Chain A
């Protein structure tokens, strides 16, 4: 059989931002799907988004409710979502309540009524809500229930419609419930409470005919309904850009020189240092240098508000207000405390797409971690790895800052054991010299080339970071408590 001979399966948009990508392009037309999850996990809303995105008056959606949420109540709450289009009601989308049928005629009556409605309406979408509750509550024997499930599954499969059963299943039912065998797609929605935060995740446990993205994906329910965030950020299929020879300026010529000509484009640079050492200022100078060179930038800040960020830059003579107005710079402020990395990433990616950004600053990783829901913090390193790998793969150069606890006995290069995530590391630290607290910086790591080995003193001036000369005449500089050493005489008269 040639590829041309194969049946073409149309993929329908789910109406849920981010979900089509997770599904591998959308939901297969005419598939029979199960949406499972605990109460309040978003099952009904997911089905509604799909209906509103696809149903037409010619090929409507039929939504059967049996023992679940009463129809009027469902409409009362679902119309609060922005995707809800009242003009589609009773035309493109029809709700049918079967609770009386169940009471009067049992499962056989339900089956008969659904079959009758399908025949009459010629729907393109069929949803049977609260299906699990029906099966749990009817006083019929196990064989009859299984027979009903099987027949309904077959009916829905054969009706030339994309169909859904919605139910409050538990994980253990996966093993012995035949309906899961019949289904083409199985979507499980989870919600957990982690300390004070709620985390929602979804998993595509099964989807016939196409490659979905495996694993648990974060989703959020907002006024617009569900929004899903793929673990791979939609970048998994993209070709990684080969590392180029181009170097990006940090906006400080002496620092560019120490870096061997600047940061290699598409690298991830970490600036580590304790409080007040100028990490954020270096990051701002990096962004401002990019703007001057026509490279749009994104700054993700977690510890100060966008307007404060621009004002602070202004005090160093760095104009960020103009690029902010022009759209060449976007400052993203994220601090809801229950974010997932994927969600944050989605926001950053959207901003990159909007601005065509080449430079990204994450200020700081500690703030980023704090903004995440506690449950996501355990996966922070893994998520960070995915994020950095994905973004540098599309040619974005990333500068992250990380706060370091100052030690005067050793030199730590970075916390979180994240140095393996970064291509380049600049370390800033305090040293005590002649009764003064002075600042030094050093390039610790450059993955793609040689760099300066100097430890140079620097100052924070009104125009930014000013880098001085290599500190000579001392040893143990990296401990923070250097010792003066006698320098060999450089010359003199005999």
Chain B
């Protein structure tokens, strides 16, 4: 399974709880629209009713494009609820990932 699916799936649960299934689906669909405008390789990707993704291959180039999608999703979240809360959400999902902690928030770049 492409890494982007794993990331999206991991975010889907807490974000669906918070924003509702349709809320998460619409957010992801918006992120996909923005990402598609930047990278044509995402043309075949779509968001399902339940907020899951389908249509992305597993190659290196697709992986690169999928990073763009996740970055757009995080950027949208930062726009709506601010960096602080987004970092908290990420920390809940990936407590052991280096770089997601409060002391590094200021330097945070959602595209990283």
Give A residues with C-beta under 8 Å from B: 65, 70-73, 75-76, 79, 86-87, 89-90, 94-100
B16 touches which of A65, A86, A87, A97 (Cβ 8 Å): A97
Q: Which residues from chain B contact A87 at a C-beta distance below 8 Å?
A: 88
Known A90-B14, A90-B89, A90-B92; contact A100-B84, beta-carbon cutoff 8 A? no
Of the residues A65, A79, A95, A97, contact of B82 by C-beta under 8 Å = A79
Could you give 5 example pairs across A and B, Cβ below 8 Å?
A71-B23, A79-B84, A90-B88, A97-B19, A97-B20
Assembled-state Cα–Cα distance A150/B67 (Å) = 49
Question: Smallest CB–CB gap between B43 and chain A, Å?
Answer: 27
Query: How far in angstroms is the closest Cβ of chain B from A160?
Result: 23
List, in ascending order, chain A residues with CB within 8 A of B18's CB: 71-72, 75, 95-97
Give CA–CA (A182, B85) in the complex, Å: 37
Query: In the complex, what residues of A have CB within 8 A of residue B19's CB?
Result: 70-72, 97
Q: Judge if B22 is at the interface, Cβ distance under 8 Å.
A: yes
Q: Which residues of A contact B92 (CB under 8 A)?
A: 90
Cβ of B81 under 8 Å from chain A: yes
How many chain B residues touch the partner (CB < 8 A)? 19
Q: How far does the Cβ of A72 sit from chain B's closest Cβ, in whole Å? A: 5
Asked if B20 contacts A70 (CB within 8 A), the reply is yes
Known: A75-B85, A76-B82, A96-B17. 13 other contacts (CB 8 A): A70-B19, A71-B23, A72-B18, A72-B23, A75-B80, A76-B80, A76-B81, A79-B84, A86-B84, A90-B88, A97-B17, A97-B19, A97-B23
Measured in the bound complex, the distance between the Cα atoms of B16 and A98 in whole Å is 9
> If the complex has contacts A71-B23, A90-B92, are A95 and B85 also in contact, measured as CB distance less than 8 A?
no
1/0 per residue, CB under 8 A from A, across B85-105: the answer is 100110010000000000000
Minimum distance in angstroms from B104 CB to a CB of chain A: 15
Q: Are B81 and A72 in contact (CB under 8 A)?
A: yes
Return the contact of B21 from the options A65, A73, A76, A100 (Cβ within 8 A): A100
- What's the nearest-Cβ distance from chain A to residue B63, in Å? 28
Given known A-B contacts A87-B88, A90-B14, A79 and B81 have beta carbons under 8 A apart: yes
Q: Are A79 and B17 in contact (CB under 8 A)?
A: no
Q: Note all chain B residues with C-beta closer than 8 A to A96.
A: 17-18
CA distance A89 to B14 in the complex (A): 11
On chain B, the residues within 8 Å of A79 by CB distance are: 81-82, 84-85
Q: Are A99 and B80 in contact (CB under 8 A)?
A: no
By CB atoms of chain B within 10 A, which of A65, A95, A97 has the most? A97
Q: How far is the CA of A160 from the CA of B66 in the complex (A)?
A: 46
A245 to B37, CA, bound (A): 84
Closest B residue to A88 using CB positions: B88
Chain A, Cβ-Cβ closest to B27: A72
Given that A72-B80, A73-B80 are known contacts, is A89 also in contact with B20, CB under 8 Å in the complex? no
> How many angstroms from the CA of A90 to the CA of B86 in the assembled complex?
11
Chain A CB within 10 Å — which of B18, B22, B77 has the most? B18
Tell me if B22 and A86 are in contact (CB < 8 A).
Answer: no
User: Would A75 and B81 count as touching, CB distance under 8 A?
Assistant: yes
Chain A residue contacts of B82, Cβ below 8 A: 76, 79
Given A72-B81, A75-B81; A95-B88 close (CB under 8 Å): no
A182 to B55, CA, bound (A): 52
Would you give the shortest CB distance from B92 to chain A, in whole angstroms? 5
Q: How far is the CB of B56 from chain A (nearest CB, A)?
A: 24
| Distance between B94 CB and nearest chain A CB, rounded to angstroms | 13
The minimal Cβ–Cβ distance linking A389 to chain B, given in whole angstroms, is 47
**Inter-subunit contact A89/B88 (CB<8 Å):** yes
Decide: A100 near B81, CB < 8 A? Known: A90-B14, A90-B88, A90-B92: no
By the criterion CB–CB under 8 Å, are B81 and A95 in contact? Answer: no
Q: Which residues of chain B have C-beta atoms less than 8 A from A95's C-beta?
A: 17-18
The docked-state distance in angstroms from the alpha carbon of A89 to that of B18 is: 10
Taking the closest CB of chain B, its distance from the CB of A405, in whole angstroms, is 56
Whose C-beta in chain A lies nearest to the C-beta of B79? A76
Chain A residues within an 8 Å CB radius of B81: 72, 75-76, 79
Chain A residues contacting B23 (CB-CB under 8 Å) are 70-72, 97, 99
The answer to whether B22 touches A99 (Cβ under 8 A) is yes
Q: Encode contact with A along B20-52: 1 for CB under 8 Å, 0 otherwise.
A: 111100010000000000000000000000000
Whether B20 lies near A100 (C-beta < 8 A) is: yes
CA of A99 to CA of B17 in the docked complex: distance in angstroms? 10
Closest B residue, CB atoms, query A75: B81
Contacts of A76 in B (CB 8 A): 80-82
CA distance A97 to B19 in the complex (A): 6
CA distance A98 to B89 in the complex (A): 19
Give the docked Cα–Cα distance between A89 and B88 (Å): 8
Query: Quick check: A100 and B22 within 8 Å, CB to CB?
Result: yes
B47 to chain A, nearest CB (A): 15
Please, which residues of chain A bring their CB within 8 A of the CB of B85? 75, 79, 86, 89
Closest residue of chain B to A95, judged by CB?
A: B18
Q: Which partner residue on chain B sits nearest A65 by CB separation?
A: B20
CB-based closest 10 A-B pairs = A97-B20, A100-B21, A99-B20, A71-B18, A71-B19, A86-B84, A75-B81, A72-B19, A72-B80, A95-B18
